[in-house]
Structure 1
């Protein structure tokens, strides 16, 4: 046990600060819906962080009557230009997840409900206080997804809610196998174990435990080193090694192992994409996907949702049937044709028959009509036409720090070492905890 203690102490002092940073940044990244992560900005950041920030744009719209008039939406807010992108002004700092328009109006799905554009100003239309992550528009209705969990049908003329549905897909329609790459991403990003927000909460639990372990470990060492505050030191040791903290090493082990894989996703791409994980061994979340609505569509008669398994359709919001396979990341309907952006697969469109969408950007964020031609929006293909910032959001800053690219691409090797050290700390710490529990039990039994 003495050797284990020395090993635990050595690695704890060596990587404790790195683990504290990973815990803090991971906790906030895991709660990416919080508005202050995008309204708080940081200056003097590296170019990698500024580039990461550009990925936060979600929607792009051009006025058909005045092509110089463009509206861009994203996590930093909604921005408008009247000179074809030369200069932009911010219309709101609410997170914008989608902008949907027709001949009569423009609507925005935001972190505070649905907003409508009136007299060149965005004003609240419906669902205030709700995080609307996807939106579809017809001539009479809006279809909105709240927190990837609920589907609301709203009448356009009075903004009244016609129906509020929790999507429940029969398990028979959720039988797809997935690649190892998808599983690793889902596990690391808090969506790969349990239903609803439980997976994300499990990640929060691990992150908060990591923060506490890092801080308390350094304090214990410092107090012992000073040979002062013995009582406080003993209390910290008890808190540092209690069952609640020990259990946190379940999510922490998952995060450490998946993090190493993600650090080398480029080199391991072939292995991770060719390795298929059968549905029979997948965690419970893959048999329900109750909080996985990433995109929505409604043509007036048929409802469609997109999740990590594909596009599902329904005519009554009760019975859902899978139409296509592949992570249906975004959907956009233009002139009666439905366009689907697919992650880790081929983009598709539906005009009565599902077909592969050729020669379009991979995983496009939005689609719009421009001069009788459908255009597809991604931040990479619109360089120089988007709002430019000299600062970056707190979210992008934390994300690049967490991944290491804030410093340099080679920092991933440091993160690898820290992840391995975390596994060693978990093994040595739990071994010592079990040993002390056994000694305590033996002493108790002897006294009896």
Structure 2
């Protein structure tokens, strides 16, 4: 007996065909943009821009945060950097590109560590092209180590002539400035104190963004497979329909037509269709609540999932692609803090064991923090303006006052201190004083909207209409129908 039976097969074929014809174009767009949005580390997608007028208000709010995430200040002069590059300014209004010796264009700057020298000397930048040292006037940078390495965080080290960096969100390395020696920190996946519960909305977001089912880059690659499958299935499905459509056969011989049908069917069903089935389903299903993110967050408030019931990615069995930031505690060899999506973790034995840092007064073990250090002061920044600092000899974290969103960087300059978040640069006499806006026009450094943010607008359909989320729901449902009906049909017609 052949399954499914002929009447069921004909019904499924009709449903599959019309669902595919309605959804194919948009699913192709979703697949292509989804793959690109999986890879924020691709330089071209952050350093190419479109006019700000092309983007929605929802995405436009995010633009300032992409212009400048990290700062250093000396005698009133400012150096700033982000994934879009690095710049310097004498007046906070006009900006010039920093010249990176031997590099065409600019790298993605992922952190700044200022060890205190004459001017900007002994100020170091982490980037997707290694470690760079600024010239004293801040106009130039020379590479001092790790060429070609994608570094994602930097900190002052335990010693006076030491840096600590993170490579590709996975490995912690110490760099000796005096001798140029590089020493990896031996990380053991021995983590205690993780919150037993994971917020439900975070779990759904992790599913959609490829962080839930598999650890590290494996989850991103699985997501990529889903995006590629969505695009290829849309393209091959339309071509198959076109080649087999009655009245379209005049432009090719029957032999050519059959050859096209064979290869289009094989690519569409038994190859890409089956390989991409799982990511296609979880991406499409999780997209529906995320299309209505604010209402979903309100509904999911207080709802959690037991961590022990979740996949291995939630057990932190590996640090691969898990380390968002690093900070070494001054004068305490072996003590390191890292920020991960599962919370702030701390080790006192140089990576042999880790424990959740519950001292930060944020619910749930402090997931999603920015962790960094300036001199003897540690900083932790969270969404909603929940920002904290802790001196090396202090027993508790204290609130940083006056900032509205998560801080990403800080700097000292004589009798003033500075703090950067996504929207402003703030200053005050001390870090414990209420922060005030400087009015620095840092967005002048990189006008326009990054291609990455513009593709978010495209992916969400906001370039078409502000309420396109309802159409996205329809396309997600059609994608689910296609993903479920296709394999059932394949059971009857496995290969041609």
Same fold (TM over 0.5): yes
2:216 corresponds to: 196
SS of corresponding position for 2:231: helix
Instruction: For residue 245 of structure 1, report the CA deviation from its aligned partner.
Output: 2.2
Instruction: For residue 89 of structure 1, report the CA deviation from its aligned partner.
Output: 3.7
2:286 corresponds to: 258
2:434 corresponds to: none
Instruction: For residue 249 of structure 1, report the CA deviation from its aligned partner.
Output: 1.8
Between 1:95-104 and 1:369-378, the stretch displaced more is 369-378
CA contact (8 A) 1:79 1:387 kept: no
Measured in 1, the distance between the counterparts of 2:375 and 2:17 equals 65
Cα RMSD (Å): 2.4
Measured in 2, the distance between the counterparts of 1:375 and 1:187 equals 37
Equivalent position to 1:178, from 179, 189, 198:
198
1:309-348 Cα distance to aligned partner (Å, 9 max, x none): 2222223222222223112531232342211013589433
Instruction: For residue 373 of structure 1, report the CA deviation from its aligned partner.
Output: 5.1
- Counterparts of 1:104-253 in structure 2, within 5 Å, are 104=117, 105-119=122-136, 120-138=139-157, 139-161=160-182, 163-165=183-185, 167-225=187-245, 226-227=248-249, 228=252, 229-253=257-281
1:365-388 Cα distance to aligned partner (Å, 9 max, x none): 222235645443123235761133
CA contact (8 A) 1:174 1:309 kept: yes
CA contact (8 A) 1:132 1:147 kept: yes
2:45 corresponds to: 37
SS of corresponding position for 1:55: helix
TM-score scaled by length of structure 1: 0.90
Equivalent position to 2:337, from 294, 304, 308:
304
Rate the CA distance shift 1:394–1:4 in 2: closer, same or farther, 3 A.
same
Measured in 2, the distance between the counterparts of 1:46 and 1:271 equals 32
Rate the CA distance shift 1:58–1:276 in 2: closer, same or farther, 3 A.
farther
CA contact (8 A) 2:24 2:238 kept: yes
CA contact (8 A) 2:389 2:400 kept: no
Q: 1:8 and 2:8 equivalent?
A: no
Measured in 1, the distance between the counterparts of 2:30 and 2:37 equals 10
CA contact (8 A) 2:72 2:112 kept: no
1:82 corresponds to: 90
TM-score scaled by length of structure 2: 0.82
Measured in 2, the distance between the counterparts of 1:166 and 1:43 equals 45
Instruction: For residue 176 of structure 1, report the CA deviation from its aligned partner.
Output: 3.4
1:61 corresponds to: 71
Equivalent position to 1:70, from 78, 86, 99:
78
Measured in 2, the distance between the counterparts of 1:253 and 1:219 equals 23
Rate the CA distance shift 1:190–1:166 in 2: closer, same or farther, 3 A.
farther
Measured in 2, the distance between the counterparts of 1:58 and 1:177 equals 34
2:387 corresponds to: 347
1:444 corresponds to: none
Instruction: For residue 361 of structure 1, report the CA deviation from its aligned partner.
Output: 2.7
SS of corresponding position for 1:103: coil
Measured in 1, the distance between the counterparts of 2:88 and 2:185 equals 34
1:446 corresponds to: none
Equivalent position to 1:386, from 434, 438, 442:
442
Q: Which runs of 5+ in 1 are unaligned?
A: 441-448
Q: 1:20 and 2:28 equivalent?
A: yes
Instruction: For residue 3 of structure 1, report the CA deviation from its aligned partner.
Output: 1.4
2:366 corresponds to: 326
Between 1:197-206 and 1:348-357, the stretch displaced more is 348-357
Measured in 2, the distance between the counterparts of 1:356 and 1:418 equals 47
Measured in 1, the distance between the counterparts of 2:190 and 2:37 equals 32
CA contact (8 A) 1:27 1:208 kept: yes
1:414 corresponds to: 471
